[in-house]
Chains A and B, each alone.
Chain A
Amino acid sequence: MEKIQEEYGKISEKYCNHIVQYPPEVSLCAGCTSCEAVCAMVHDGAVSPSLSRIQLERGTVSMIHTIHACMQCRDHPCYSACPKKDKAMCIDEKLGIAYVNQEECVGCRLCVKACPFEPKRIRMNLDKPRPKAIKCDMCRTRPNGPACVEYCQVRCIGKSEDPVPVDDRGRTQGLF
């Protein structure tokens, strides 16, 4: 556990503060998909996996699930690729992360292509008349911070620069 604690809670040279999934020794993802549901709700006023900036890759049989969210690269390849940078893809000076201004996005998908990760951490919102890029913005305007973290009932996700949470509640065994 000490090794795990050393891996988190640090400032990375490559990535800004981003959403991380902790190893199962800390907390196993329960698979509830609350993170996806609240993400789409707070950003788009609807519930849809296609609108969620965070993606849960479900282990249907294994029941071991993987969370994918934007790594918030410090060199912002998505921002660099945007033909309307600073209008469509913008930089939050305080957080250092790239975010999308959907009103200006032309749906060219160059940011998606530029994302170095698989699955791509930028997706297209096909719910609009014209597709718009969507990516995790760390809920930059929410006073409580990332909604996915706030509503994760097992606290299996957190912010990379925050220390690993500790089990402050404990529990007893179930009845049967």
Chain B
Amino acid sequence: METIYGYAGKIARINLTDSTVTDVPITNYVPKYVGGRSVANRIFWEEVGPEVKAFDPENKLIYMTGPTTATGIPSGGRTVFTGLSPKTLPEQYTWSGMGGWFGSELKFAGYDGLIIEGKAKEPTYIYIEDGKVQFLSAEKLWGQYVHETQEMLEEIHGKDVKSIVIGPAGENLVRFASITTANDNAAAKAGFGAVMGSKNLKAVTVRGRGKIVPADIPKVLELRKTMNNPPMRLNPILNLEGVEAGANVNFKVPGGVKQAQVACCYGCNQHCDRMFLDVKSGTSRKKKNRVEKCVGIFAMDFTENCGWMPNQTFQTEQNHSAPCKTLSGDMEPPDMTDPYAKDLFNWRPADTVNFWKGNYDKGNVMMDLCNQYGIDKWEVTVGLFPWFSMGQKEGVFEGMDFGMPIDVESEEFVRYILDMLVYRKGKYGDILAEGMARAVRILGKEKYGDTIYHGRYSNVIPGKQLDIPICMETAWGEIFHWQGRGYQAAIDITGWLPCSLQLMVSSRDTQTVAHFHSTWDYYLAVKDDPYHNRLVPQAVIECETREDIKDSFTSCEWQAPDHYWPTMECEMFEAATGYPMTLEEMEEMAIRSRLTFRAILIRNYGRDREMEVNAVYPGLTYPDSVGLTADWDDWNDLVDLYYEERGWDKKTGWPTREQYEKYGIKEIADELEAAGKLPG
């Protein structure tokens, strides 16, 4: 048999309604779409129409690896889920990335991905062993926490299996339920845990004894040493006096803190995750080890928001470093001979928000419960509990009985609220399980969402009060992220404006796989008038193209892109598959994937210019860290420039037939035209 390099060769279509499995050749999609999110986009476009709702059996949960997964190429362990999300507002097609070791094990078992469709009659889990798929009863697993479920599956099938599981939140259709794998890696942002729950699917467990053959092993080994200059340093468990996570979360802990770094996915050459050892558990276990990247740190202390240093966003050839190194502390020391170094490393302080004070045990319990219930930490840490904190201070909850006095400083209150919403207990449990965006609409958005919190203060202009609504909602039901308001608000307008554009054309928060990055030259060119400079949409499009590349090939947000090594993913792809790919070809594939995604949003969910400019703009009327707000006309001028740069129709925001045909997907244009969704 001819060796297939990089790929396993097929996708398993798993129908839970009739317990059937069909093999779908990966070549149905490759090479037009190379893997990961791009293939998933195409599958969803072909198979799920506009009439389907998130919890319908007809919704499909698509899981894809990429050609670099399980090849030993660093960051190839990243994988992606897509499907119709119950979390986004309104329900829209979206994606959710996940690291871990499940994707590589799936490839060793013979599959590049899964199409999970239908609905099982009873609680079920899927066991895949070397190409054989079984549907097994999840009766004993249903109701179990995430960690207990993982351990029970290992007891049943052996220590070497890898699993994706949901917790009670997914079973109870909590709209921000996550899917979790090893190391608490989770696909959390899209609520796909609840989609699994709606299908009566508790877990997928896999064991693979097969192999994946990279085409060019010397090149793979070379990439292991060259991709982001791996630190190759010891990783001792540090005994610290407290939490020391940069300038904003920094407090002493009685008894100290044990901390080390761990990797997040198969074969990575970095270790971006921060692990806290022997911390307080949220459940009956005595002690736990737990990992965090960024937002979970704020569960421990949310007195200040997150500050910003321009080099997190803007780079020069002399000073650029992978984001994973900013988390692990492995960043190379600044090169101060760089004429821009002083500005690049000029820390912009975070806003004071005073949500809650430092409490190591309470923060660990909050995050462990998120892990165990299987819910999105982001929604809990940046959405739910800040809402309680701000709303209580502004008096909006007076007369409401949650069953316990509101006290966000209290571990008991955290436990009580999370238990209430995960199990949908009582009126408020049921409402909060819908997620912040839907909950405040059920309660009454004007009061419970838009009431202004008067306790946010700038530290760039000391003492300046900055209004923010108690529900820090931006577009698509998401919470602000790198948008100058809400979480990571300290970024300046040259950063938050493009982040907002990225969000506008997406269906969920993009600053997880597409953190806005550009060069310092960009910053200098646009800083005086970012609304009317084409470099802004050009830089956004570059980031979006890179986003599709990362989620398709696959590579990792925390390692890529390297602005000064643009062909890195081309080299990864060729090492994995043996097929040379130019930068132009790679970008063409990414834009094809992007157009397919946009076509889904347009056909299925009525996406157009009016919908998206209005989704993002209201949030930009609140002040950033120096008090700047966006003007409606300026915002629309920028949107005009974006659509022009994309070659899309400015009036509707729809791509033209020429765009679809240019990227080889005429059939999509034909279908959109039949649906009246091509610009006239």
Q: When chains A and B are docked, how far (Å) is the Cα of A156 from the Cα of B231?
A: 13
Q: At the interface, yes or no: A11 with Cβ under 8 Å from chain B?
A: no
Q: What is the size, in residues, of chain A's interface with B at 8 Å between Cβ atoms? A: 50
Besides A47-B70, A173-B246, A176-B294, 14 more A-B contacts (Cβ < 8 Å) are A25-B237, A28-B260, A31-B182, A33-B104, A34-B72, A41-B217, A46-B213, A49-B209, A50-B211, A63-B289, A153-B271, A155-B235, A171-B233, A175-B327
Are the C-beta atoms of B248 and A176 separated by less than 8 Å? Answer: yes
Q: When chains A and B are docked, how far (Å) is the Cα of A172 from the Cα of B325?
A: 10
Q: Which residues of A contact B329 (CB under 8 A)?
A: 171-174
Known A-B contacts A41-B221, A48-B108, A173-B244; the reply to A63 vs B211 at CB < 8 A is no
Q: When chains A and B are docked, how far (Å) is the Cα of A63 from the Cα of B100?
A: 12
Q: When chains A and B are docked, how far (Å) is the Cα of A169 from the Cα of B312?
A: 23
Within 8 A of A (CB), among B257-313: 260-263, 265-271, 274-275, 289, 291, 294, 297, 306, 309, 312
Are the C-beta atoms of A171 and B330 separated by less than 8 Å? Answer: yes
Q: When chains A and B are docked, how far (Å) is the Cα of A114 from the Cα of B199?
A: 48
Are the C-beta atoms of A47 and B71 separated by less than 8 Å? Answer: yes
Render A55-86 as a binary contact track against B, CB cut-off 8 A, 1 for contact: 00110111110000000000000000000000
Are the C-beta atoms of A27 and B235 separated by less than 8 Å? Answer: yes
Q: When chains A and B are docked, how far (Å) is the Cα of A91 from the Cα of B386?
A: 66
Q: At the interface, yes or no: A167 with Cβ under 8 Å from chain B?
A: yes
Q: At the interface, yes or no: A98 with Cβ under 8 Å from chain B?
A: no
Q: At the interface, yes or no: B160 with Cβ under 8 Å from chain A?
A: yes
Known A-B contacts A25-B236, A31-B263, A58-B182; the reply to A153 vs B269 at CB < 8 A is yes
Are the C-beta atoms of B263 and A61 separated by less than 8 Å? Answer: no
Are the C-beta atoms of B244 and A50 separated by less than 8 Å? Answer: no
Known A-B contacts A33-B101, A48-B108, A176-B249; the reply to A26 vs B234 at CB < 8 A is yes
Within 8 A of A (CB), among B213-231: 213-214, 217, 220-221, 224-225, 230-231
Are the C-beta atoms of A47 and B235 separated by less than 8 Å? Answer: no
Q: At the interface, yes or no: A126 with Cβ under 8 Å from chain B?
A: yes
Q: At the interface, yes or no: A165 with Cβ under 8 Å from chain B?
A: yes
Task: Closest A residue to B225 by CB, please name it.
Answer: A151
Q: In angstroms, how far is the closest chain B Cβ from the Cβ of A123? A: 10
Q: When chains A and B are docked, how far (Å) is the Cα of A36 from the Cα of B231?
A: 19
Are the C-beta atoms of B297 and A62 separated by less than 8 Å? Answer: no
Q: When chains A and B are docked, how far (Å) is the Cα of A26 from the Cα of B237?
A: 8
Q: Which one, B182, B211, B234, B248, contacts A51 given CB within 8 A?
A: B211
Are the C-beta atoms of B262 and A30 separated by less than 8 Å? Answer: yes
Task: Closest A residue to B325 by CB, please name it.
Answer: A174
Closest 4 CB pairs of A and B: A48-B211, A32-B263, A37-B72, A154-B235
Q: Which one, A25, A46, A151, contacts B212 given CB within 8 A?
A: A46
Q: What is the size, in residues, of chain B's interface with A at 8 Å between Cβ atoms? A: 66
Stretch of B147-155, B395-403, B507-515 lying at the A interface: B147-155
Known A-B contacts A28-B236, A47-B213, A50-B209; the reply to A61 vs B151 at CB < 8 A is yes
Are the C-beta atoms of B275 and A63 separated by less than 8 Å? Answer: yes
Q: In angstroms, how far is the closest chain A Cβ from the Cβ of B149? A: 10
Q: Which residues of A contact B236 (CB under 8 A)?
A: 24-28, 167
Within 8 A of B (CB), among A93-139: 126-127
Q: When chains A and B are docked, how far (Å) is the Cα of A15 from the Cα of B410?
A: 55
Q: When chains A and B are docked, how far (Å) is the Cα of A154 from the Cα of B526?
A: 41
Q: Which residues of B contact A30 (CB under 8 A)?
A: 235, 261-263, 271
Q: At the interface, yes or no: B629 with Cβ under 8 Å from chain A?
A: no
Are the C-beta atoms of A49 and B271 separated by less than 8 Å? Answer: no
Q: At the interface, yes or no: A88 with Cβ under 8 Å from chain B?
A: no
Q: In angstroms, how far is the closest chain B Cβ from the Cβ of A8? A: 14
Q: In angstroms, how far is the closest chain A Cβ from the Cβ of B219? A: 11
Q: At the interface, yes or no: A16 with Cβ under 8 Å from chain B?
A: no
Give the secondary structure class of A's interface: loop
Q: Which one, B104, B150, B230, B265, contacts A153 given CB within 8 A?
A: B230
19 example contacts (A-B, Cβ-Cβ < 8 A) are as follows A25-B237, A28-B237, A30-B263, A30-B271, A32-B265, A34-B72, A34-B268, A47-B72, A58-B182, A60-B183, A63-B289, A151-B269, A153-B232, A153-B269, A155-B234, A156-B235, A175-B245, A175-B327, A176-B248
Q: At the interface, yes or no: B159 with Cβ under 8 Å from chain A?
A: yes
Are the C-beta atoms of A175 and B312 separated by less than 8 Å? Answer: yes
Q: In angstroms, how far is the closest chain B Cβ from the Cβ of A102? A: 15
Task: Closest A residue to B298 by CB, please name it.
Answer: A176
Task: Closest B residue to A58 by CB, please name it.
Answer: B182
Are the C-beta atoms of A32 and B271 separated by less than 8 Å? Answer: yes
Q: Which residues of A contact B108 (CB under 8 A)?
A: 48-50
Q: At the interface, yes or no: A90 with Cβ under 8 Å from chain B?
A: no
Q: At the interface, yes or no: A45 with Cβ under 8 Å from chain B?
A: yes
Q: Which residues of A contact B291 (CB under 8 A)?
A: 63
Q: At the interface, yes or no: A38 with Cβ under 8 Å from chain B?
A: yes
Q: When chains A and B are docked, how far (Å) is the Cα of A127 from the Cα of B372?
A: 38
Task: Closest A residue to B108 by CB, please name it.
Answer: A48
Are the C-beta atoms of B233 and A167 separated by less than 8 Å? Answer: yes
Are the C-beta atoms of B262 and A28 separated by less than 8 Å? Answer: yes
Q: When chains A and B are docked, how far (Å) is the Cα of A34 from the Cα of B261?
A: 15
Q: In angstroms, how far is the closest chain B Cβ from the Cβ of A159? A: 16
Within 8 A of B (CB), among A3-49: 24-34, 37-38, 40-42, 44-49
Q: When chains A and B are docked, how far (Å) is the Cα of A91 from the Cα of B211?
A: 28
Q: At the interface, yes or no: B50 with Cβ under 8 Å from chain A?
A: no
Q: When chains A and B are docked, how far (Å) is the Cα of A47 from the Cα of B163?
A: 20
Task: Closest B residue to A164 by CB, please name it.
Answer: B234
Are the C-beta atoms of B326 and A50 separated by less than 8 Å? Answer: no
Q: When chains A and B are docked, how far (Å) is the Cα of A28 from the Cα of B163?
A: 23
Are the C-beta atoms of B289 and A62 separated by less than 8 Å? Answer: yes
Are the C-beta atoms of B249 and A34 separated by less than 8 Å? Answer: no
Within 8 A of A (CB), among B188-222: 208-214, 217, 220-221
Q: At the interface, yes or no: B659 with Cβ under 8 Å from chain A?
A: no
Q: When chains A and B are docked, how far (Å) is the Cα of A93 from the Cα of B402?
A: 75
Are the C-beta atoms of B209 and A126 separated by less than 8 Å? Answer: yes
Q: At the interface, yes or no: B328 with Cβ under 8 Å from chain A?
A: yes
Task: Closest B residue to A27 by CB, please name it.
Answer: B234
Q: When chains A and B are docked, how far (Å) is the Cα of A33 from the Cα of B102?
A: 12
Q: When chains A and B are docked, how far (Å) is the Cα of A175 from the Cα of B309?
A: 10
Q: In angstroms, how far is the closest chain A Cβ from the Cβ of B620? A: 24
Q: When chains A and B are docked, how far (Å) is the Cα of A176 from the Cα of B381?
A: 14
Task: Closest A residue to B239 by CB, please name it.
Answer: A25
Q: Which residues of A contact B265 (CB under 8 A)?
A: 32
Within 8 A of A (CB), among B53-87: 70-72
Are the C-beta atoms of B72 and A38 separated by less than 8 Å? Answer: yes
Q: Which residues of A contact B233 (CB under 8 A)?
A: 154-155, 167-169, 171
Q: Which one, B231, B266, B297, B312, contacts A32 given CB within 8 A?
A: B266
Are the C-beta atoms of A48 and B212 separated by less than 8 Å? Answer: yes
Q: Which residues of B contact A33 (CB under 8 A)?
A: 101, 104, 266-267
Task: Closest B residue to A60 by CB, please name it.
Answer: B182
